[in-house]
Amino acid sequence: MLFVPTLKRSLVAALMLITGAACADTEPPNVLVSIKPLQLIAQAITDGVTDAGVLLPPGSSPHRHSLKPSDARKLREADVVFWVGPAMETFLPKMLNGKQKGVSLMDLKGVHLLGGEEGDHHHGHDHHDHGEHDPHIWLSTDNARAIATEMSRVLISVDDANKAKYQANLERFLTSMDETDKRNLNKVKQAGNRPFFVFHDAYGYLEQQYGLPAAGHFTATPGQQPGARHLVGLQEQLGKAGAICIFREPQFQPAYIDRLTKGLPVTVGVLDPLGESITPGPESYTQFINQLVDSITSCTGARITTKG
């Protein structure tokens, strides 16, 4: 009879191993995105399943980020990595390899790309020179729809157990985008067509989505002061524009903006294309887009007084 407790303990241990293996198999994937705006979209799709991690810390610019050992570890541990593309996260291509399921979102069919001299472009093939196109694709709700759809498809491919949740989350997100567009188009219409200036050339997708009349930008490269000729041209534009809105970004506070606008009838506001103040959640991308539109329309639709 002495063998019975031993046998029971062996059976219990085996059962625990089997149960543990089953639990491990049903664990949700480790989802990583490169920048905060993609996290806002991903959270809508992973709601109720898992949380999407983000690679870049708050306040860090994707244009000039340097990878740390902790970043490399996050990439190694991720099951799925969503990123914009080489034109945005220049530090990522060498780190992404066959061990991760890296998804470059600028490569998606259905993502609308704005070009430079060649104008607008709808991406419809596998290879493209991203340097010719604006990488700030997340500022278009149409692109957000395509991104969310791809995120759902990829997550289902690696986590079929939660397929129904991903699909339901996607449907909810697409519906919320329709409501967001209706709301913001109405806000822009009510605000009128007073033009505005932005800190850097990042808002083309938002401008096109809602017909926002941006008059110009201060710099093409954040963190780098524009040349003297460009600054002179900007000062002339601002002088001719009259009452106008100018938007900084929280990550950058260049002193030359104050010098250029001194004595002019301008209002200086803040736009954050990375959504640093937004808490990730199922409705956070909608909140992000609404916040940008509200910041613009509350300024362009208001009476502007002369700045001293």
Q: Is the pLDDT of residue 24 over 50?
A: no
Domain boundary among 158, 181, 204: 181
Identify which of 48, 49, 66 has the alpha carbon closest to the alpha carbon of residue 57: 66
- Domain assignment present for residue 4? The answer is no
Residues 196-209 pLDDT 10s: 888 888 899 999 99
**β partners of residue 121:** 113
- Domain assignment present for residue 12? The answer is no
- Domain assignment present for residue 87? The answer is yes
**Pick the residue with more confidence: 251 or 151?**
151
Q: Is the pLDDT of residue 117 over 70?
A: no
Residues 199 and 175 in one domain: no
Residues 261-270 pLDDT 10s: 777 788 888 8
In angstroms, rounded to a whole number, what is the distance separating the alpha carbons of residues 300 and 308? 19
Range name among 64-68, 134-138, 139-143 with the lowest pLDDT average: 64-68
Q: Is the pLDDT of residue 252 over 80?
A: no
Counting every residue written for the chain, the total comes to: 308
Range name among 69-78, 162-171, 204-213, 297-306 with the lowest pLDDT average: 297-306
Number of domains making up the chain: 2
Domain boundary among 115, 149, 181: 181
Identify the residue whose tokens are 């600028």: 106
Instruction: Read off the amino acid at residue 223.
Output: G
Contact residues for 283 (Cβ-Cβ < 8 A; gap 6+): 44, 176
- Domain assignment present for residue 208? The answer is yes
- Beta-carbon neighbour count of residue 67 at 10 Å? 16
- Domain assignment present for residue 17? The answer is no
- Domain assignment present for residue 14? The answer is no
Residues 204 and 72 in one domain: no
Q: Is the pLDDT of residue 247 over 80?
A: yes
Q: Tell me what pLDDT residue 222 has.
A: 62
Q: Is the pLDDT of residue 97 over 70?
A: no
Tokens for 206, please give them.
């938002």
Residues 204 and 141 in one domain: no
Residues 68 and 147 in one domain: yes
Residues 205 and 150 in one domain: no
What average pLDDT does this structure show over 12-24?
Answer: 44
Q: Is the pLDDT of residue 13 over 60?
A: no
Burial class (CB in 10 A: 0-12, 13-18, 19+), 215: middle
Query: The domain spanning residue 253 has which CATH number?
Result: 3.40.50.1980
Residues 80 and 143 in one domain: yes
Residues 171 and 59 in one domain: yes
Percent of the chain surpassing pLDDT 90: 48
Range name among 5-14, 55-64, 106-115, 255-264 with the lowest pLDDT average: 5-14
Domain boundary among 138, 155, 181: 181
- Domain assignment present for residue 157? The answer is yes
Domain that residue 43 falls in: 25-181
**Pick the residue with more confidence: 54 or 239?**
54
**Pick the residue with more confidence: 222 or 50?**
50
**Pick the residue with more confidence: 308 or 92?**
92
Work out the pLDDT band at 215, boundaries 50, 70, 90.
confident
- Domain assignment present for residue 10? The answer is no
Tell me the C-alpha to C-alpha distance, in Å, between residue 238 and each of 195, 217, 233, 257, 261.
Answer: 11, 11, 9, 11, 8
Question: Is residue 207 within 8 Å of 197, Cβ to Cβ?
Answer: no
Residues 34 and 145 in one domain: yes
Residues 141 and 168 in one domain: yes
Q: Tell me what pLDDT residue 303 has.
A: 53
Residues 144 and 91 in one domain: yes
Residues 223 and 89 in one domain: no
Residues 223 and 292 in one domain: yes
Q: Is the pLDDT of residue 12 over 90?
A: no
